[in-house]
Structure 1
Amino acid sequence: MPPENLKRILMVEDEPDIRTVAELALEAIGGFELTACESGQQALEQIEECRPQLIVLDVMMPGMDGPATLKAIRSLPDYARTPAVFMTAKVQSDEVQSYLELGAAGVIPKPFDPLTLADQIRDIWNEACAIG
């Protein structure tokens, strides 16, 4: 059975410039419905409303960082298995491995290419659905 099409993405990114570029890349180029949040707390407040199929998290954020946000999201029964992707400048192999061990479906290095971001996310989604 082919994976369902990815439509709704929740993105958590504290940098407004990066959020803007990612919104363009994912909505205008990728055709996704994107809910962009500037903090983990805001993501937790909005998750029920946007019902994401995939979550994109910045690793380094003030207050609640990406791993803490993912842990909080995983405690919500409806989102315990929602695929999550970390976006980070910290992409040493041991760092990437630690994100995967936290339950991330993939890691996208920053700075990302806005023209290929949607495809990268789609690839991770298809892989996550195949493993399911």
Structure 2
Amino acid sequence: MGPVSAPGSRQRVPGQARKYALVVDDDDASLRTFERLLSKHPVELLLAKTPSEALGLVSMLDPTPQPIVGFLDVLIPGMDGPRFVHALRTMPAFGGAPIVLVSALSGTALDAKALEWGASGIIQKARGLIHVDQEFTGWLERIG
């Protein structure tokens, strides 16, 4: 069992709407890095190592639309990218929310595939942590 965080596990500012960031990565080092980068933002982190853990966490959220963004590793065991994105899209919390794929792979073919699958965009790990951090910040700003 990997690091899974339940909704509401982080403190938030009273009176401020909850915003969530779902991070799914089977690599412990990547998950810790993403947690460190995102922890400086006013969001509640939902961390999972598998698609099934992630879907379980999302199912615990209030079913009304939430300010949420998902960051998903492309190459994750248990469910391929298209099925995982589709499964999230069918959940009320993620109907129109941004789903961003994160990958060590690169190339325009992967970018096109991500959009075809229903993802909102892709972040390439190979561009470095500063770029990944800037991308995270940009996507978090889009959800308010």
Q: TM-score, normalised by structure 2?
A: 0.72
Aligned-pair identity (%) = 27
Unaligned runs of 5+ in 2: 1-16
SS in 1 for 2:29: helix
SS in 2 for 1:90: coil
Contact 1:54–1:83 under 8 Å retained in 2: yes
Q: Are 1:40 and 2:55 counterparts?
A: no
Q: Which residue of 1 aligns with 2:35?
A: 23
The CA deviation string for residues 62-117 of structure 1, in whole angstroms up to 9 with x for no partner, is 11133321111112234221110000122211111110121211110024543443
Contact 1:10–1:56 under 8 Å retained in 2: yes
Q: Are 1:60 and 2:75 counterparts?
A: yes
SS in 2 for 1:22: helix
SS in 1 for 2:60: helix
Contact 1:9–1:55 under 8 Å retained in 2: yes
The CA deviation string for residues 7-33 of structure 1, in whole angstroms up to 9 with x for no partner, is 3100111101100011001113x3432
Higher Rg: 2
C-alpha change, 1:75 and 1:7, in structure 2 (3 Å) is closer
C-alpha RMSD over aligned residues: 2.4
Q: Are 1:11 and 2:14 counterparts?
A: no
Contact 2:22–2:69 under 8 Å retained in 1: yes
Q: Which residue of 2 aligns with 1:100?
A: 115
Which has more helix, going by share of residues?
1
Q: TM-score, normalised by structure 1?
A: 0.78
Deviation for aligned residue 1:56: 0.7
Contact 1:85–1:105 under 8 Å retained in 2: yes
- Structure 1 ranges of 4+ moved more than 4 A: none
SS in 2 for 1:56: strand
| In 2, Cα distance between equivalents of 1:47 and 1:27 | 19
SS in 2 for 1:10: strand
Unaligned runs of 5+ in 1: none
